[in-house]
Amino acid sequence: MPSAGGISIALLDLNFPKLGGIEVLKRLRAEERTKLLPVIILTSSKEEQDLIAGYGNGANSYIRKPVEFSQFPEAARQIGLYWLLLNEPPG
């Protein structure tokens, strides 16, 4: 995974064609080398059960994608700033 200054994050969409995002999240959490990797679910889903399943399976954040694609780059920039500058990862 790419990193900046030794910090990595995963942006995870829930709507994959073959393997759902929650299943990907479960696999990330089951692996020793990725179990502490910060995972941000970035999805268009407004379903309460997706939100609950995401946090219940170890997501660090759940963000709904902006409806307008033109707003997406700014949303991604703000996510990056938060995780790279403000968030404090485990030891």
pLDDT at residue number 5: 47
pLDDT at residue number 3: 45
pLDDT at residue number 56: 97
Confidence of residue 67 (pLDDT cuts 50, 70, 90): confident
Over residues 68-79, the pLDDT tens digits come to 888 888 888 888
Average pLDDT over residues 2-26: 79
Closest by alpha carbon to 53, among 79, 32, 26?
A: 26
Other CB atoms within a 10 A radius of the CB of residue 62 amount to 19
Over residues 25-59, the pLDDT tens digits come to 999 999 999 999 989 998 888 899 999 999 999 99
pTM value? Answer: 0.76
Closest by alpha carbon to 25, among 9, 12, 15?
A: 12
Domains and CATH numbers, the chain: 10-86 (3.40.50.2300)
